[in-house]
Amino acid sequence: MSSPSDIAAWQEPALTSSGVPNAKLGIWLFLASEVMLFSTLFTSYVVLRLGAASWPRGWVALNVPLAMVNTIVLITSSVTMVLAYAKVIEKDLSGFRKYMMATIGLAFLFLIFKSFEYGSHFTHHEYPSTSIFHAVYFTMTGLHCIHVIGGIIVNTGLLFMANEQFDHPLFAGRVEGAGLYWHFVDIVWIFLFPCIYLI
Amino acid sequence: MTTNIYGWGLPVAASTYARDIDFGIRLIHWAMFTIFILWAIFFTYLLIRYKKRDGVPAEREPEHHGIISTSLIPDIIVMVFEIGLIFFYAIPVWSKVKTVFPKESEANRIDVIAEQFAWNVHYPGADGKFGKRDLAKIHFSNPIGLDHDDPAAADDVVLANEIHMPIGKPTLIRLTSKDVIHSFWVPEFRVKQDAVPGMTIPVWVEPNRVGTYELSCAQLCGFAHSLMRATVVVQTPEDYEKWLKSVAPVAVASASTSTKGSDSW
Amino acid sequence: MANEHPHRVAAAHGHPPPNVKLYIAIFGALIFLTILTVVVSWWHLPPAGAIAVALLIASFKASLVLAFFMHLKGEHKLIIAFLGIMLFTCIGFFLIPLDQHLLRDRTTHTEVKEEGGAPELPQAEPAKPQEAK
Amino acid sequence: MVKKNNHAAAAHDSHSHAHHELTFWQKYVFSLDHKIIGLQYLITSLIFLLIGFTFMMVMRWSLAFPGTPLPVLGRLFPADLAPNGVISGEFYNSLGAMHGTIMVFLGVVPLGVGAFGNYVLPLQIGAPDMAFPRMNMASYWTYLPGGLLMLASFVLPGGAAQSGWTSYPPLSIINPGQTVWLVGMVLLITSSLMGSINFIVTTLNLRAPGMSLMRMPLFVWSELVTSVLLLLAFPPLEAAAIMQFMDRVFHTSFYIPQGLVVLGMLHKASGGGQPLLWQHLFWFLAHPEVYVLLLPPMGIVMEIIANNTRKPPHGYKTVVASMCGIGAMSFVVWAHHMFVSGMSATLSNFFLVTTMIISVPSVAILTCMVFSLKGGSIRFNVPMLWALAFLPMFGIGGLTGLPLGLTATDIYLHDTYYVIGHFHYVVVTGSIVAMIGGVYYWFPKWYGRKMNDTLGYLHFWGTLACMNGVFFPMFIQGLAGQNRRYYDPTAHLHNLPTQPLHVVSSVSAWCLFLFQLPFIYNFFHSMFAGEKTEENPWKATTLEWACPSPPPHGNFEKTPRVYRGPYEYSLPGAKTDWAPQHVEAV
């Protein structure tokens, strides 16, 4: 049935009616829905905090230095991602591989730091059910971690796909889309970090 | 009894603001009825007049390019009607019922604590002060956890599924729930307010008709939701005082017995 | 960032032209702002001030990522328009906390160990200002 | 543009070669073709509508004859659900919750968006398929497991959800069965999100040359607005559902306040949550959802009316603007479902005003539909009857929304049968009626055959009469103060005088079922043995009729070029009374 090649004819950016490639428009729409998802969680956070009798300041309950290092790790991975995209445009396969592997590696590093953080909470018998603060903390960061894992899967897929399809006309679009998603995950963390840890 | 106050239309009006709400319901229904009939006549006329006839082609309207068209005329009528309703009816009546409350000192005060599937009513008694309620003291014989060590609780009365109110004086109710969301709904008073756990929501009503009415739960609260009801007895002030004396705990009796007694009353 | 010269071809195919130097500069700014927001938090400002500063810095960081890493600057107006629609629907997210704020007197904070008695009737004071004309 | 045609033609060539290699599974089950996926959605959602309706028929017995054993079926239910064949409160609540969930999320939305949108939208804009065919398939194959999971919850431990389709906590956190409902909802939300992204990209990007936005049929506009609503309104519910899931599975307390005492026992959750938060988030989705239920049927009605009055509809731009206006406004009206919920009474006034404002575009659309009849040459065929029935029925539904949207009168009418009557007039006699009209209208497109007219008339008049018999008494009951969600209304004195009306409603509901039998027979019989029709049996102008019926893979033999607006009927100087969009000289 509709093999990729049929639809590819319609994905040539110059040929779409709006002038935006399908994949790019699709990924932005997806990100818009993700923004609504995380906005809801942030709204719930504000509502719950307003309604709470007391709310711990982040630095009392959480490990701020580790989270700051993690923030820097995630921001760096965002930079390597955009550099990987630059290498695709420059048609530099080995450069692309280098930066993409860095992105994936940094994402893993983020998850490892995060698991240390979770682990120390669990050893102190702090679980999502401990208090409403912990519920918010674990749910929001947990959902963010799931998004990080999703990003790792996509980026790893692209890394392997590059072996055969690096010169495919749609490949740059795919890397761009994965990049948009990855930067979005970064932005979510940029807000999560101060909201939960610093204020 | 039933036949007098309930029927196919609105039940009998038994509170001071019931008339305001009834006025709105009647006004809107007459308006809706008129709009619909006029509209239906026009609609039927169009269907008959423009039924397909052989050799008679459809008439195209002259082209117009803007968003504004003649179809907005009904909108303007609707808008004017709605603006009138909002500012001269809905907001004033809503404020009267839901945002402006009688002074505590001038009102008859009760607390209503909803639970699956009963309405607990807490009267402050002769001293006008509510005794403390403590979650830890909740027991099947003390459904609201009244703290009998609190002097203010000595003359408090706790009833299940029975509310008494005097006529001609506003009753101020603090509404709360022990478990899930319930809804305080007395059709004759035209009052409805959800009882939300973790919140204390004020409700007021001034009954103006003596009688026995019905308090139903209007928010799905579990398997026996449809069996969750209570009786509302509106009495003359004299009868109300008499009744209050009859249920008041005897001072010498131990607190727990008295609560139990009033509970099963 | 109207740097069209290096990769005009890419732009023609709908892909934004990359600019490596700029990316590195943004990276530096992001790291600086991250450290700044943590340093500010050491002052233990009162909640209102802390929230204002932290959100200001976070919004600035997010806009840097959006504008340059996600190439939203100079992006097709269809995408900008759609994000505008999305922002409009976010109005609702301000109304929910507003409701919570207005309800602060009705919310009961129960001590599970020992309930502090029936809470004071909340509406006595706020009832007047809420009175509609 | 020439280049584009070549591309499409080339693409089509490669199709015809690929055609033979497809197995049955690839062609009819895991199909990537928007037409097959559309039909999969159509059949599945019609079956779900029937299942939801069956639940209601069982519930109607409990309402009409409370406390009496359900004949025949009652003995088939397990004793804990229906002791001695009498429907228990738990079972009634489960049926009620699942009726709402199935009808809204598994019936009407997939029918309006998944079925009609998938099949008709790409054809109407002249596209060979959806923009992301694989995602389209994934959307259906997430929807179906979600639906089956919902149904399976009846036999899973804990039973089906019984907290209403609105699932208000803390009840939904205490009640059994809710976890499966939440997982099912997350699947359905994911499916809808994939579908809506696909629809928006397809509509914006895959239009045939010449198909400008203002030349798109109104059905396409309605789907576009609907998809935007789905895309932006569903994620908040997804987040809310995740939090409720956390509350149930990980014992957090997003929605549980401190000091909950359930049946005499102190609840173990740490507390500190807000029950009203769920209601806000739920209705943040569920109000736009109402328009998701309503807009595609409105688009269908506009298509059918334009076709059967043989003239352009009145106020194309007004309708487009109104649809967009409805879409935008629907995000700021949600709390009118919460006037008596304990929400701030001051904030209610804001929502009162926005609610009244959103009635303006709805009235504008309805007026345009009526004014479109003026000057027409009206053909009363079966689809047209359904489309015409939509107008007064939706009118009643819309008008009765007025006293519910006004804060003061809503105090009395909230959560009574008046609400049930109101939204069923909107969704059943409105949306579902219009979509059945759509089935009759596009059936020749799907199968190249026509549905039987006599059975169609029988189906129409019987359905219309019965639907009014079911829903109109509810207004009277609501005014008498009868509450919804009671399995035994006779437990309350004020319900007794209107109890006979429950019998009227129930008997009408069972008759309504009987009148669906001719439709079911007609649908399947006509699929194989209906009268064969020509390519364009309704003499319609829109692009879906510019390709063979049923369309081959890739839809158009040659990418059509669009020369004019969607409804150029009775064009002066044209030889026929319809001027198709793709024909240059008429």
Here the CATH number for the domain that contains residue B138 is: 2.60.40.420
Neighbours of D507 (CB within 10 A): 15
Touching check for C118 and chain D: CB below 8 Å?
A: no
Domain boundary among B78, B99, B120: B99
Smallest CA–CA distance, residue A56 to chain D, in Å, is 13
Residues in chain B predicted with pLDDT less than 70, given as ranges, are: 1-3, 64-69, 250-265
Domain count, chain A: 1
Q: Which of B134, B139, B117, B112 is nearest to D171 (CA)?
A: B117
Is the reported ipTM for this assembly greater than 0.85?
yes
The matching CATH number, chosen from 1.20.210.10, 3.40.50.150, 3.20.20.140, 3.40.50.2300, for D37-257+271-546 is 1.20.210.10
- Local confidence pLDDT in tens for the 586 residues of chain D: 333 333 443 344 344 444 456 788 878 888 999 999 999 999 999 999 999 999 999 999 999 999 999 988 888 888 888 888 899 999 999 999 999 999 999 999 999 999 999 999 999 999 999 999 999 999 999 999 999 999 999 998 888 999 999 999 999 999 888 999 999 999 999 999 999 999 999 999 999 999 999 999 999 999 999 999 999 999 999 999 999 999 999 999 999 998 888 888 888 888 889 999 999 999 999 999 999 999 999 999 999 999 999 999 988 999 999 999 999 999 999 999 999 999 999 999 999 999 999 999 999 999 999 999 999 999 999 999 999 999 999 999 999 999 999 999 999 999 999 999 999 999 999 999 999 999 999 999 999 999 999 999 999 999 999 999 999 999 999 999 999 999 999 999 999 999 999 999 999 999 999 999 999 999 999 999 999 998 899 999 999 999 998 999 889 988 899 999 999 999 888 888 899 999 988 7
CA atoms within 13 Å, Cβ hemisphere of B78: 24
Contact predicate D328/C88, CB 8 Å: yes
Helix (H, G, I), strand (E, B) or coil at C27: helix
Asked if B92 lies within 8 A of C114 by C-beta distance, the reply is no
Question: What one-character-per-residue DSSP string does chain B give?
Answer: -HHHH-SSSPPPP-BTTHHHHHHHHHHHHHHHHHHHHHHHHHHHHHHHHTB--TT-PPPPPPP--SS--GGGHHHHHHHHHHHHHIIIIIHHHHIIIII----GGGSEEEEEEEETTEEEEEE-TTTT-PPPB-GGG-BTTBTT-B-TTSGGGTT-EEEESEEEEETTS-EEEEEEESSS-EEEEEGGGTEEEEE-BTB-EEEEE-B-S-EEEEEEE-S--STTGGG-EEEEEEE-HHHHHHHHHHHSPPTTS-HHHHHHHHHH-
pLDDT the model gives residue D432: 96
- Which pair of tokens denotes residue A113? 């730091």
Please indicate, yes or no, whether residues B240 and B109 belong to a single structural domain of this protein: yes
Q: What burial class does residue B57 get, using C-beta atoms within 10 Å of its C-beta: 0-12 exposed, 13-18 middle, 19+ buried?
A: middle
- Which pair of tokens denotes residue D228? 């935007």
Identify all chain B residues contacting D373, using CB atoms and an 8 Å cutoff: 43, 46-47, 50
Identify all chain A residues contacting C7, using CB atoms and an 8 Å cutoff: 89-90
Interface test with B, best of C121, C131, C133 (most B CBs within 10 A): C121
Touching check for C124 and chain D: CB below 8 Å?
A: no
pLDDT the model gives residue D553: 87
Interatomic CA distance for residues B211 and B233, integer angstroms: 6
Helix axes D417-426, D382-405, angle to 10 degrees: 140
Contacts of residue B64, Cβ cutoff 8 Å, sequence gap at least 6? none
DSSP state of C114: S
Please indicate, yes or no, whether residues B134 and B246 belong to a single structural domain of this protein: yes
Q: Is residue A37 part of a domain?
A: yes
pLDDT the model gives residue D228: 96
pLDDT the model gives residue B255: 42
Smallest CA–CA distance, residue C34 to chain B, in Å, is 38
Residue A159 belongs to domain with CATH number: 1.20.120.80
Please indicate, yes or no, whether residues B92 and B109 belong to a single structural domain of this protein: no
Q: Which residue of D has its CA nearest to B187?
A: D481
Chains with ≥3 CB–CB distances under 8 Å to C: A, B, D
Q: Is residue A131 part of a domain?
A: yes
Interatomic CA distance for residues D191 and B244, integer angstroms: 60
Q: Is residue A166 part of a domain?
A: yes
pLDDT the model gives residue B64: 67
Nearest to A194 among C26, C37, C65 (CB): C37
Contact predicate B142/B259, CB 8 Å: yes
Q: Is residue A7 part of a domain?
A: no
CA-based max dimension of chain B:
99
- Local confidence pLDDT in tens for the 133 residues of chain C: 333 333 333 444 567 778 889 999 999 999 999 999 999 988 888 888 888 999 999 999 999 999 999 998 888 899 999 999 999 999 889 999 999 999 988 888 765 443 333 333 333 333 333 333 2
Asked whether the predicted pLDDT for residue A158 surpasses 60, the reply is: yes
Question: What one-character-per-residue DSSP string does B83-99 give?
Answer: HHHIIIIIHHHHIIIII
Helix (H, G, I), strand (E, B) or coil at C94: helix
Nearest to C100 among D271, D274, D350 (CB): D274
Q: Which domain holds residue B49?
A: 2-99
Identify all chain D residues contacting C132, using CB atoms and an 8 Å cutoff: 349
Touching check for B47 and chain D: CB below 8 Å?
A: yes
Please indicate, yes or no, whether residues B115 and B220 belong to a single structural domain of this protein: yes
Touching check for B111 and chain D: CB below 8 Å?
A: no
Please indicate, yes or no, whether residues B237 and B143 belong to a single structural domain of this protein: yes
Interface test with A, best of C3, C5, C7, C13 (most A CBs within 10 A): C13
Asked if D232 lies within 8 A of C85 by C-beta distance, the reply is yes
Domain boundary among B76, B99, B122: B99
Percentage of residues in chain A having pLDDT higher than 70: 92
Q: Which of B107, B123, B126, B124 is nearest to B168 (CA)?
A: B107
- Which pair of tokens denotes residue D390? 């939509």
Q: Which domain holds residue A119?
A: 13-198
- Which pair of tokens denotes residue A94? 């080995």
Touching check for C123 and chain B: CB below 8 Å?
A: yes
Q: Which of C29, C52, C30, C53 is nearest to C40 (CA)?
A: C53
Identify all chain C residues contacting A132, using CB atoms and an 8 Å cutoff: none
Contact predicate A198/C42, CB 8 Å: no
Q: Which of D409, D379, D222, D232 is nearest to D316 (CA)?
A: D222
Please indicate, yes or no, whether residues B29 and B85 belong to a single structural domain of this protein: yes
Domain count, chain B: 2
Phi/psi for B16 (5° steps) reads: -65, -35
Q: Is residue A8 part of a domain?
A: no
Interface test with A, best of D134, D205, D226, D331 (most A CBs within 10 A): D205
Q: Which of A95, A94, A13 is nearest to C20 (CA)?
A: A95
Please indicate, yes or no, whether residues B88 and B112 belong to a single structural domain of this protein: no
Asked if B187 lies within 8 A of D481 by C-beta distance, the reply is yes
Nearest to D206 among A10, A51, A132 (CB): A10
Interatomic CA distance for residues B228 and B214, integer angstroms: 11
Asked if C91 lies within 8 A of D332 by C-beta distance, the reply is yes
Nearest to A28 among C31, C62, C82 (CB): C82
B-contacting residues in C 26-65 (Cβ below 8 Å): none
pLDDT the model gives residue C13: 52
Interatomic CA distance for residues B16 and D530, integer angstroms: 65
Touching check for A89 and chain D: CB below 8 Å?
A: no
Interface test with B, best of D279, D494, D564, D568 (most B CBs within 10 A): D494
Q: Is residue A2 part of a domain?
A: no
